[in-house]
Amino acid sequence: GDSVTQMEGPVTLSEEACLTINCTYTATGYPSLFWYVQYPGEGLQLLLKATKADDKGSNKGFEATYRKETTSFHLEKGSVQVSDSAVYFCALSDPTPGGSYIPTFGRGTSLIVHP
C-alpha cells in the first residue's frame, strides 16, 4: 500500500538558516503530494502541493519539487523564521476507486527555530 517516510525530528535551526525536510513515498499509482503544517494547538493547514512529476509547489517561502525518479518531495526554505516553528507532515493522495482522495500521512517532523 501507499506509504510516506519523513526524516525524524526535531530539526533545530537558528533564524535565517536553510531548511530541508526529507520526504520519500511509495505509491502504486500517480499520487498528488502535499506538505501540511501543524502549529501548536491547531489543526493541519495545507502548505503546498504538487499533482504531477516535476511540478514545484511553493507557498510562504517554502517549496518542494515532485521527483518521480527518486520518489521524493523534500521541503525546503532558504531562510527560516521563529514563526516557522511547527510540525510538518508530508502526505500523498491517490484517487480511490470511488473517486475520493484519502491522504496518507508521514509521521511528521518537528521544526524548532531559535532567534
For the bound state, the minimum distance from the C-beta of residue 15 to other proteins, rounded and expressed in Å, comes to 26
Phi, psi dihedral angles at 83 (to 5 degrees):
-70, -10
For the bound state, the minimum distance from the C-beta of residue 101 to other proteins, rounded and expressed in Å, comes to 5
Residue 19 within binding range of other proteins, rule CB under 8 A = no
- Chain residues 32-91 in contact with other proteins, contact rule CB under 8 A: 32, 36, 41-46, 49, 51, 89, 91
Neighbours of 56 (CB within 10 A): 10
Cα separation, 110 vs 39, in Å, equals 10
Partners of 34 in the beta sheet?
49, 91
For the bound state, the minimum distance from the C-beta of residue 93 to other proteins, rounded and expressed in Å, comes to 6
Q: List interacting residues with other proteins (CB under 8 A).
A: 4, 32, 36, 41-46, 49, 51, 89, 91, 93, 96, 98-108
